Amino acid sequence: MKLQVTEIFLYVSLLIAIVSLFLLIIGSGKNIKINKPKKEKKPKEKKDKNDTDVLEVFDYLGIKIIHENGKYTVNNKGKLKTYNSWIELPPNYQKMVKELDNRSLQKKSGDYFLETINGVYYLTYPNGKRKKYKRLSDIPANIRKAVGK
């Protein structure tokens, strides 16, 4: 049996592939430890209170304003504009941010849930209690306003 040069290269490369696969499978189970000089660990520096990252997102009727570390990014109908400070931010966007900020700081009224079943009004209070009213006018005015009736 006489082998050509290409057949010899084929068999040799096949043999090398099988041996390397065998070594890969057998050698993967063993952990090799190499002694390297250990690096000295530096003590972790405590972050200053001033180094905290600030991210606020405001959404005002579809206009999104993102405040991140003093920079403002405005997305108005898909057009992005970046402003480096509050002073560079146009006054109309400043008003939007102030209004949304004030809204978030105001005391929120509790969430009431009103449902009508067979002509009887059932009002669920924020604490989870439920009360039954025969007429809508029996419900206190401030709660009716909160419910939207």
The reported pLDDT for the residue numbered 148 is 74
Asked if the model's pLDDT at residue 34 lies above 80, the reply is no
- CATH code given to domain 53-105: 3.30.720
Task: Report, as an integer, the average pLDDT of 18-24.
Answer: 88
In this structure, the dihedral spanned by the alpha carbons of residues 121, 122, 125 and 126, taken in order and rounded to 10 degrees, is -110
The reported pLDDT for the residue numbered 114 is 84
Asked if the model's pLDDT at residue 110 lies above 70, the reply is no
Task: Report, as an integer, the average pLDDT of 60-75.
Answer: 86
Task: Report, as an integer, the average pLDDT of 51-55.
Answer: 64
Task: Report, as an integer, the average pLDDT of 61-77.
Answer: 87
Task: Report, as an integer, the average pLDDT of 66-77.
Answer: 88
The reported pLDDT for the residue numbered 129 is 85
Half-sphere exposure of 23 (CA within 13 A, CB side): 6
Domain ranges of the chain: 53-105, 113-147
More confident residue, 93 or 3: 93
More confident residue, 147 or 90: 90
The reported pLDDT for the residue numbered 51 is 58
**Among 9-23, 50-64, 113-127, the range of highest mean pLDDT:** 9-23
